[in-house]
Amino acid sequence: MTAISLGIIVGLIGWFLVRYIVFSFYTVDQNERAVKTIFGRAERLPAEASSEDPFAEYLRPEERERYRYPQLRVIPPGGPYFKWPWERIYKVSVATQTINMAVDLEDPRANHGGTVLEAVTKDQLNVGLKGQIRYRVSERHLYAYLFGVKSPVVHVMGYFVSILRERIANFEAPPLPSDGALASQPADASAVSGVSINDLRKNLRDLNEHMDRECLSSPARYGIALDASLITEIDAPPDVESAMAAINTAHNQVSSDISLAQAAADQKIVQSKRAVEIETLKAQAEVEPLLALAEQLHRLRASGPGALTAYLRNVRLNLFRQAERVIMEVER
């Protein structure tokens, strides 16, 4: 065997050792999870471990069988781990990420360059939506994320946008309470009935909560869990915005007039109550001495037959003492 042949053999052995032994060790970062495939088939957990999926209840009955994915054996953070040449490792970041809801991952020029998402309201207003979505890969649904769909983030973004546009198109503000206590309260300027954009702006929190509820099935569908959706702005076309400003100004004026009238009425009511209290106290002050005198006379009369006569004589003498002139009736 020549030196060249020996060098080729040594080189092949070294290449094999480096390629399939040294590079077969790998690690998994703290924010990552890994899945191993053997000859293209992912390692799976037993069937009983994947029979109960808590997210399946958010799917429609006809969808539960379609999105029934197996549970995979997940490799936790750490290492080094070893894999054979016929095995392949898929690493996935499970850290929470934030994305603009108007971003189109397939066409960056769409939605005004990924800045504003357009939607149509029930009264045919073309509004622009701005906001963000927080999402993360669901560790329980790595099969759906890695092997179920081709582009999970694109699918879940399209799913979110379709639900959001459907909600905007059919959104109606919840009815106001019909109790009597509300009649005396001033009207809120933002509660302009019949104008959907005002209803949307006033109920942004309800809209975000609705989107969170509707997207609870996204882990079972695409392997991505939406942690929160935050719609921050709803912009109307410029001509509509000016009309809305005029409407809101009129309602603000009406609300201000109602508040002033209610304040004046409340002040008059308070003054009337105070006047009644003052007159009541005056009457009580006049009646109280008479009641005390009546009680005193009753006790004098009960003490003896001559006590009341003596009391009247003493009172008459006191009055005579204070008088400057006395006119006496003389019997003839």
Using an 8 Å Cβ cutoff, are 207 and 231 in contact? Answer: yes
Q: Is the pLDDT of residue 30 over 70?
A: yes
**146 and 289 inside one domain:** no
Residue 46 falls within a domain, yes or no? yes
- Residue 258 covered by a domain: no
Please check whether residue 82 lies inside any domain of the structure. yes
Cα separation, 185 vs 262, in Å, equals: 8
Same domain, 110 and 202: yes
Token representation of residue 298: 């009753």
Closest CA relative to residue 168, chosen from 235, 110, 219, 105: 235
Same domain membership, residue 161 and residue 54: yes
User: What is the average pLDDT value for the chain, to the nearest integer?
Assistant: 81
Residue 192 has what pLDDT?
Answer: 43
Strand partners, 93: 32
Q: What is the pLDDT of residues 259-288, one digit of tens each?
A: 889 998 999 999 999 999 998 888 888 888
At 292 the three-state DSSP class reads helix
Total of domains in the chain: 2
Q: Which residue has the tokens 């003052």?
A: 278
Q: Supply angle C-alpha 251, 201, 252, rounded to 5.
A: 15
User: Is residue 265 one of the residues assigned to a domain?
Assistant: no
* Ordered alpha helix ranges (H), 304-332: 307-322
* Same domain? 215 vs 290: no
E strand spans, the chain:
25-28, 32-38, 41-42, 74-75, 78-82, 87-93, 97-100, 117-120, 126-137, 224-235
* CATH number reported for the structural domain that contains residue 80 in this entry: 3.30.479.30
Q: Tell me if 247 is assigned to some domain.
A: no
70 and 152 both lie in a single domain: yes
Tens-place pLDDT, residues 175-231: 655 554 444 444 443 444 445 677 788 888 888 888 888 888 888 888 999 888 888
Whether 289 maps to a domain, the answer reads yes
Strands 32-38 and 74-75, by their bridges, are antiparallel
> pLDDT tens across 124-135, in order?
888 888 899 999
Residue 77 has pLDDT above 70, yes or no: yes
Residue 98: band (very low, low, confident or very high) from pLDDT cuts 50, 70, 90:
very high
317 and 229 in one domain? no
Same domain, 202 and 318: no
Same domain, 38 and 130: yes
197 vs 101, higher pLDDT: 101
Give the pLDDT confidence score for residue 185 in this predicted structure.
Answer: 44
Q: Which structural domain, as residue segments, surrounds residue 285? A: 276-322
Confirm whether 267 is domain-assigned: no
User: The whole model's pTM is what?
Assistant: 0.63
Indicate whether 55 pLDDT > 60.
yes
